[in-house]
Amino acid sequence: MELSAYLPFWSKLEPRHRELLQQVVTECHFEKGRLIHNGSADCVGLYFVIRGRLRVFVMSEEGKELTLYRLLDRDICLLSASCLMRSIQFDVIITTEEDTVALHIPVEAYRRLMEESVVVANYTNELIAANFSEVMWRMDQIMNKKLDSRVAAFLLEEADLRGSNGLDMTHEQIANHLGSAREVVTRMMKYFQTEGLVKLGRGSIELLDLDGLNRLAAESMR
């Protein structure tokens, strides 16, 4: 396994740390819809996504979901090893949205790297900061942006990820991503259809007016 192609800090590691990683890193294959992390008590280690897509989300006591961010090819899933970060108490759930292949680094091995390698420690701190910024952006969306703009932005993002303007998604799935209620999303989608922005089917959505959706989504786009 050529780890240098996937681990961004590989070239700066000492030989003994490279040897450690060669010994412990494994390649994992997950089917779509697989639960790979469930809360802070479930500390499974780090995953480096080779190909596929992971969804990182939180769930309220009432079962309401909110997607914090998604991880794509060559992204690193740090919160699956949240026990490494003593000052962070953050219960997230991580599932696969596609069939996914990832490299796995066990918790104890990564803890040793963080303790012995300034390069890995600095990289981890930068990753924590990036994840925190992503979460804060999501909170700003919920608190300060209109739902119609957020829904439009989500539809465009989803179309870009899938490479298609036809989405096989239910209103409940959209609501789970956005931390909203299905009934609210349904009303919004019907409004979009009335305005000629989308065409709704059973469990499907076709994006018709990309320019219109982009104008509506402007304040919620990255």
Give 91 or 177, the one with higher predicted confidence.
Answer: 177
- Say yes or no: 131 and 186 in one domain: no
Which CATH number do you get for residue 171? Answer: 1.10.10.10
| Model pLDDT, residue 61 | 82
Q: Round to whole Å and give the CA distance between 196 and 181.
A: 23
Residue 190 has pLDDT above 70, yes or no: yes
| Model pLDDT, residue 88 | 61
pLDDT band at 86 (very low <50, low <70, confident <90, very high): low
Write down which residue in 97, 118, 142 finishes a domain: 142
Which CATH number do you get for residue 21? Answer: 2.60.120.10
- Say yes or no: 9 and 106 in one domain: yes
- Say yes or no: 130 and 195 in one domain: no
Q: How is residue 17 written in tokens?
A: 């740390």
The model carries a pTM of: 0.86
Q: Round to whole Å and give the CA distance between 83 and 40.
A: 7
pLDDT band at 182 (very low <50, low <70, confident <90, very high): very high
Q: Give the chain's largest Cα–Cα span.
A: 63
Q: What domain range includes position 125?
A: 3-142
pLDDT band at 1 (very low <50, low <70, confident <90, very high): low
- Say yes or no: 107 and 192 in one domain: no
Average pLDDT over residues 168-187: 94
* Residues pairing with 179 in the sheet: none
- Say yes or no: 25 and 119 in one domain: yes
Domain count, the chain: 2
pLDDT band at 87 (very low <50, low <70, confident <90, very high): low
- Say yes or no: 71 and 131 in one domain: yes
* Residues pairing with 71 in the sheet: 54
Average pLDDT, the chain: 90
Q: Round to whole Å and give the CA distance between 20 and 7.
A: 13
Write down which residue in 142, 157, 185 finishes a domain: 142
For 182-210, letters b (16+ CB in 10 Å) and e give eeebbebbeebeeeebbeeeeeebebeee
Residue 90 has pLDDT above 70, yes or no: no
Q: What angle do CA 96, 99, 100 make, to 5 degrees?
A: 70
Write down which residue in 142, 160, 186 finishes a domain: 142
- Say yes or no: 36 and 113 in one domain: yes
Q: Round to whole Å and give the CA distance between 141 and 125.
A: 24
Average pLDDT over residues 146-162: 94
Asked if 205 and 190 count as a contact pair (C-beta separation under 8 A), the reply is no
When mean pLDDT is compared across 118-122, 135-139, 192-196, the lowest value belongs to 135-139
